[in-house]
Structure formats: structure tokens, C-alpha cells
Amino acid sequence: MRAYYFDDEPTDQRLPHDSGEEVSLDTLDQLGVLYWSIPVAEGESIPSGVDAIAKERGYKNRDVINVSKEGLGDLYETKIKSFFEEHMHEDEEIRYILGGSGFFDVRKHAPHPNQERWIRILCEQGDLLVLPSGIYHRFTLDTNNKIKAARLFQDEPKWIPHNRGPQTDVNPYRADYLSAIQPISVA
């Protein structure tokens, strides 16, 4: 995993968009974003370390998604576009990367929207990332065009995005998220 500020250049979303400004794990933690590195052993499906975190955090269900042209078929382009729309969920988003790589972008909240910045998080095999409910984020593949991830859920598997807008800005889960994070500078 590597985190840095997104450069906001209007080019292919799958490119690194590396501003050269690194983001620390402490900054991610202040945003409620959690990270673990849990290597995948040869022939192992999901390591016991992932199971231990799932048990500790109350994740009862899981599935595996293969985000690639082969895995999504005719839905590939539509799904890639929808994943990259800025949105939030009313549940945590938990992903354990089994293979491939991609980018999760999380919105660093600021008092004024024009001060907000995207933080790009490169996730690769063995990375486990938890995005808190209410955080604005998006996802895209990198130029390898494939990622295989275990999705963990506290209840029944669901993925309901709430795209950013005035109604989502006042969603109770968004409000709870904003009250939970500590104010951090907009470096």
C-alpha cells in the first residue's frame, strides 16, 4: 500500500496521478481509514489474519469479486465508471486484495469544499483496507486492468453507493462520519 495526494490532472483515471506528496498512515487513521498488510501464501485463499480481523470487527459474510474484463463481461465499462463516481456507503467498505492492483481514492474533508483533496491509495496483493461509513471515496483499476478482492460485510452482502450531492451531504451516516473525524490540516 502506498498513499499520496492525487494530482488532479485530467488524464486517464488508471494512471498513478502521483503529486509527489506522500500521505502517512497517521493521516489515513485520522480519516478513519484502516490498513493491514497480510501476505497471501501460495495456494491459500484467505489468510487466517484476515479471518481474525473479520471476527474482531464483526464481519460475518464475504464474497470475492474479480474486477476485470473477463470477470465482469459486458458490465465491465459500466461498473468501472460507477466505481469511479464519488460516493459514500452507509456501511464500512472492506477489501482484501487477493491479486492484481487498483486505486482507492478517499476525500480528505476540509471546512470549505474547494480545500478538499483526494488521497490516492494504491492497493496490491495482501493489502486489507477498511473505509469507514460516510467517507466520500471512489475506486479505479490501474493500467493492469484487473484486481481480485475479497469483500467483507458485517451483515448481508450489499454494495449501495450514495453519490455525492446535497442529499448525501446531509445523510446521517455522513454526518456521523464528519463528527467522528478529528479536524486535520489541509496540507
Task: Cell numbers for 131, please give them.
Answer: 473505509
Q: Which residues are annotated as a binding site for Fe(2+)?
A: 87, 89, 93, 137
Q: Which residues are annotated as a binding site for Ni(2+)?
A: 87, 89, 93, 137
Q: Which residues are annotated as a binding site?
A: 87, 89, 93, 137
